[in-house]
Amino acid sequence: MLGCLTFVAPFSPSPLLSLHRFSPLSVPSSPSGLLKFASRRFSITATKAESLSTMAVDAENVGSVKRQLAHLFEVSLRTTVPSEPDIAPLVEPCAAKSGVKFGDYQCNNAMGIWSKIKGKQAEFKGPPSVGQAIMKNLPPSDIIESCSVAGPGFVNVVLSRNWIAQSLQRMLIDGIETWAPRLPLKRAVVDFSSPNIAKEMHVGHLRSTIIGDTLARMLEFSHVDVLRRNHVGDWGTQFGMLIEFLFEKFPNPEDVNEAAIGDLQTFYKASKVRFDSDPEFKQRAQQAVVRLQGGETRYRDAWKQICEISRTEFHRVYERLGVHLEEKGESFYNPHIPGVLEELNKKGMIEDSEGARVIFLKDVNIPLIVVKSDGGYNYASTDLTALWYRINEEKAEWIIYVTDVGQQQHFDMVFKAAKRAGWLPADDNSYPKATHVGFGLVLGEDGKRFRTRNTEVVRLVDLLDEAKNRSKTALLERDTAKEWPEEEVEKTSEAVGYGAVKYADLKNNRLTNYTFNFDQMLNDKGNTAVYLLYAHARICSIIRKSGKDIEEVKKNAKIALDHEDERALGLHLLQFSEVVEEACTNLLPNVLCEYLYNLSEIFTKKFYSNCQVVGSPEEGSRLLLCEATAIVMRKCFYLLGIVPVYKI
């Protein structure tokens, strides 16, 4: 199968073998570009025999309705147009047209097939007849209740209620992990957060931390081994200045500690003032950089002390956010830079330009500087080396960088260089691949870059404090919470406050700027974490109030979806897996947020408004629907890095 791939991996191909496990039918959802991607992958990676052999394995992927339908349509396509074995099924959930839906899912292959076979297969007179044939050739299956052909050959599928109900019941027994998507890769690097030592960790880093953590969680859930990398800026000329300043302030290294130094940012600013105003200090600082890079013990030790203090500060934020990261800072890659540049040089990629060493890249009007005119390395040389390391040493197949959109060109150039070097294939849809996940600015309510009243930058710790305190005040205004033990109040206000900050960020398309507004994010109505967390708590309380042991109900009751709102809820629950797959494939956490919000709306406004749960003849089945909703909601919360609450 590897022979069918369009590139030869520059390293041992073993991670790529994972592609075997995936059916070419692993079609990413919706945007049309991705559909093209799907059919392309199909054509380069599979033959008919292979796709059939992968079917059994793909059956592991029981969670995805879309994939299961795609299997059925694939069988039909092979019979309908035997002359076109490379056509992949295009299956999507149906969108409502003027409020009417013709089915739950739709197969959209007819028109594409018609344009390929026109005149070749006499039995077809146009796309509608191709659609009819696709429908007729579908193998029998208990998934489908009925099918119809609409317009230019769209095949609409109505899913069987029974099958939806059984799938939910099975998930309740086997666990939601059985609904985890399978992605065609084994290992990924997510490079996120990555603040700079001694400089402020600003809201941009907060966004990177929140988005990166969610992407990592979604990939991990999808069975990918994720290396969560904190690429901290722990190297660079600023360290000369910091170290000299440290020597001045603390002639005795033993006196250096966090308490003595205080806030590192203030320390940084003071050293900068000294640097700018005293030429003699400046000179010493510049020499300090050289001595640090030369490895002199005293300088290395001072550098380590500064990094350690910074690390403790960062760690406090990560701990509160529940984010886990593994630090491999810029300095880690230093020893590898000369070798990597030598390799690029041998490939004829590096040129001299105004005293610097640079790489010129196609369609980019500025060169990528890899050695500065003073002989030093820079951000780009480090990133090129880190990318080389991640591909070749760590064997990552997908390397994801989460930073503000301002760094897009930098990454674009680094990736282009890596392709030219042959580390990455030219085709963006093949693995290994590198992706820059950009995000917009955080704005204040004045529409300008987010700042607080009196400080220039917003300290993340203050921000989290405020979110927590505000949610605590709101919580204590509720009668129920007044009797809660202090610890519970604390925990709930943290879950709600931090959850609100995260969700407000994640629910937007990450590329857009977003306005930071406490009142909005802490509102208990509308699309906020507060609303969602409360909705979840309410579902838990319905189950509690029934007085039934849900584990017993699982054993004894059977889900039935007779009411149309029960069916709508059941179907939405079942779409969890394909939504996570889409959010992962396109690196868009907002897709999952939207799903979660809709789930909560369908539960509250449709199901719970129209279907009595406790005390009704359908109580058992409906309690199971409540439980399934709570389970799916909790998994969404988990993937979004939000701690659920069970009580309000």
Residue closer to ligand ARG by CB (options 21, 449) is 449
Residue closer to ligand ARG by CB (options 386, 571) is 386
Residue closer to ligand ARG by CB (options 232, 559) is 232
Residues 28 to 87 in contact with ligand ARG, rule: CB under 6 A: none
Using rule CB under 6 A, residue 383 touches ligand ARG: yes
Size of the site for ligand ARG (CB under 6 A): 10
Question: How many CA atoms within 13 Å lie on the side-chain side of 165?
Answer: 18
Q: What is residue 608's DSSP assignment?
A: I
Q: What is residue 207's DSSP assignment?
A: H
The DSSP code sequence of 294-361 is TT-HHHHHHHHHHHHHHHHHHHHHHHHHT---EE--HHHHGGGHHHHHHHHHHTT-EEEETTEEEE--
Residue closer to ligand ARG by CB (options 404, 488) is 404
Distance CA 616, CA 201 (A): 54
**Smallest distance, Å, CB 386 to ligand ARG?**
6
The site string for ligand ARG over 224-263 (x = CB under 6 A, - otherwise) reads: -------x-x------------------------------
Residue closer to ligand ARG by CB (options 187, 231) is 231
**Smallest distance, Å, CB 159 to ligand ARG?**
44
Residue 439 phi, psi (nearest 5): -140, 160
**Smallest distance, Å, CB 408 to ligand ARG?**
12
Residues 157 to 216 in contact with ligand ARG, rule: CB under 6 A: 191, 194-196
**Site of tokens 């039935």:** 560
Using rule CB under 6 A, residue 401 touches ligand ARG: yes
Residue closer to ligand ARG by CB (options 108, 334) is 334
Residue closer to ligand ARG by CB (options 157, 201) is 201
- Each residue of 125-137: b (16+ CB within 10 Å) or e? eebbbbbbbbbeb
Distance CA 592, CA 585 (A): 12
Residue closer to ligand ARG by CB (options 171, 384) is 384
Contact 378, 341 (CB under 8 A): no
Residue 449 CB coordination number (10 Å): 15
Among 61, 64, 68, 403, binds ligand ARG (CB under 6 A): 403
- C-alpha distance across the termini of the chain, in Å: 54
Residue 214 CB coordination number (10 Å): 28
The DSSP code sequence of 570-599 is HHHHHTHHHHHHHHHHTT-HHHHHHHHHHH
Residue 617 CB coordination number (10 Å): 8
**Smallest distance, Å, CB 178 to ligand ARG?**
35
**Smallest distance, Å, CB 447 to ligand ARG?**
23
**Smallest distance, Å, CB 583 to ligand ARG?**
22
**Smallest distance, Å, CB 211 to ligand ARG?**
13
Residue closer to ligand ARG by CB (options 457, 481) is 457
Residue 448 CB coordination number (10 Å): 9
Report the residue closest to ligand ARG, judged by CB: 194
Using rule CB under 6 A, residue 381 touches ligand ARG: no
**Smallest distance, Å, CB 376 to ligand ARG?**
17
**Smallest distance, Å, CB 231 to ligand ARG?**
4
Distinct helix (H) and strand (E) counts, the chain: 26, 14
Chain residues binding ligand ARG by CB under 6 A are 191, 194-196, 231, 233, 383, 386, 401, 403
